[in-house]
Amino acid sequence: MIDFAAARRLMVDGQVRTADVTDPRLLAAMLGLPRERFFPEEKASLAYLDLDAPINAPGRPDRRLLKPMVLAKLLQAAAITQTDRVLDVGCNSGYSTALLAHLAGSVVGLEEDPDLARLATDALSVAGMPNAKIVRGTLTHGCAGEGPYDVIVLEGAAEIVNVALFDQIKDGGRLVGVLGRGPTGKAMLYRRIEGELSGRPVFDAAAAPLPGFAKPHEFVF
């Protein structure tokens, strides 16, 4: 039987701290939150591996949790405060939403897959996160009815980002996510200042594609 508590400590010490993640609140949250509870029982052994862990059942579209190091570095770059309202786009089974609930004032986890939305809702209920909720909807549309947001987190790689998401960021707010596919991807930090958006790369990163965020295929004669 896997010692999940020991695996969690190894994840934080071996994958997260070594990647220059130093935020004490974030490290404490990752140490205290049982990641295995956000996996189906048959996949719980994948919870602490250094990979984008597959989360969906066979026959369903491929969805993966961000590897712990990439998620931690993205959240550290977002500089989330205890008063922030956060939108977690593509929250999968809810692990990232629960992690954000330890850092922010309130969190909305957005998920379009019905099975994952149910898994996330159940896992958050067991975890006892009153400042977090799961909303089912199209990922590219965001969740304007619950916004605007201080921070938006994309839980996967994007080639394009719908302007509707940027419009849901408060002035002074941030959006973080992985831009591009494959090994050439970059983790990006965007800021909205007086209606204008600017972005900069913060580290090299790869992630599984987020549904709906791929560039349309171009027709070639």
Whole-angstrom Cα distance, residue 104 to residue 81? 6
pLDDT in the model for residue 217? 58
Q: How confident is the model at residue 218 (pLDDT cuts 50, 70, 90)?
A: low
- Half-sphere CA count of 69, side-chain side, radius 13 A: 18
In contact, 108 and 118? CB cutoff 8 Å: no
Looking at residue 15, what DSSP letter applies? I
Domain containing 182 equals 4-204
Tokens 């969690």 appear where?
A: 8
Diameter of the chain measured on Cα atoms: 57
The region of weakest confidence among 48-62, 76-90, 141-155, 194-208 is: 48-62
Residue 85 lies in a domain: yes
Q: How far is CA 165 from CA 26, 98, 110, 119, 150, in A?
A: 25, 21, 12, 24, 12
For residue 12, the 8-state DSSP code is I
The total domain count for the chain is: 1
Q: Mean of the per-residue pLDDT values for the chain?
A: 93
The answer to whether residue 221 sits within a structural domain is no
CATH code of residue 103: 3.40.50.150
Q: Rounded distance, CA 46 to CA 165, Å? A: 31
Peptide bond into 61 cis (omega under 30): no
Does the residue 213 lie in any domain?
A: no
pLDDT bracket for residue 77 (50, 70, 90): very high
Residue of 135, 100, 131 whose CA lies nearest to 114: 135
Task: Please give the model's pTM, rounded to 2 decimal places.
Answer: 0.94
1 vs 19, more confident: 19
Is it true that the peptide bond before 148 is cis, omega within 30 degrees of 0?
Answer: yes
pLDDT mean over 63-92: 97
Question: 142-185: per-residue pLDDT in tens?
Answer: 999 999 999 999 999 999 888 889 999 999 999 999 999 878 89
Q: Is the pLDDT of residue 213 over 70?
A: yes
Region 104-129: mean pLDDT is 94
